[in-house]
Amino acid sequence: MKRLLRLVGAPLAFVFVLATPLAASASTQDRYSVAGEGADAIFATCPGEPVPGQICSVVFIGLNSQVTKADGTKSSATSLSIGISKYTIDLSGNYVSISETAGFGLPRWSLDAKLTHASATASFAVITCAGFDCVDGTVTVVASWTGQDDLIHEVFNLHIAKGGFTANLHFNGNTRNASASVSVNGEDLGTSLYADIRNLKTGQIVICHFC
């Protein structure tokens, strides 16, 4: 499970770096890449199987020192991003989305060269969408990472396809497993599912919506 989270969790966190539009239209592609130093964390309030009607959330946190958009423009400063998915399941066991939240800001941050510690703090605007209804808000994120285990160099490509959604991911860089402590507006995020500190040569994601 931890290996799967390494392969899937970290690249998916990149999706939220630029506050991806939450109500994507059909037949569109989103392309992003990141490089340099950073860290990721994933938390869940329902790490096991939720019961019908139980409201659960999964939170992605990403710290990235360089982000490149599809048009080639690069970020001018390190960003701290967040993505929150709230959901439940119905009586038949089907997944039901409640809302999606995304945003990013410029943090006060630190990360050591050996990838043993990282921290970031920022307050920034987010957008929350439930269906086609969206509202603006703000969050304050306080995050810290402590490296664990050995430094690992990884190169991999991953393809995900489900229904009309496809994603192609590429990762090349050094990572170290970590423990993470993150609060959003002073609130605990639940159980930590994955955390790492990384230094990437390339980390790319291409997402195709309903194509």
Q: Which own/partner pairs from 17-21 qualify as long-range (CB within 8 Å, at least 24 positions apart)?
A: 17/62, 17/64, 17/67, 17/79, 17/81, 17/104, 18/67, 18/69, 18/81, 18/104, 19/81, 19/102, 19/103, 19/104, 19/126, 19/127, 20/102, 20/207
Instruction: Give the tens place of pLDDT for each residue, 161-185.
Output: 665 566 677 778 899 999 999 999 9
Closest among 61, 70, 91 to 178, alpha carbons compared: 61
Q: Does position 109 have pLDDT exceeding 90, yes or no?
A: yes
**Between 124 and 211, whose confidence is greater?**
124
Pair 170, 204: CB distance under 8 Å: yes
Backbone angles phi, psi at 152, to 5 degrees: -125, 135
The SS3 assignment for 171 reads strand
Q: What is the pLDDT of residue 28?
A: 57
Q: What is the pLDDT of residue 13?
A: 41
Mean pLDDT value of segment 79-86: 89
Instruction: Give the tens place of pLDDT for each residue, 11-69.
Output: 344 433 333 433 444 445 666 677 789 999 999 998 888 889 899 998 989 898 877 66
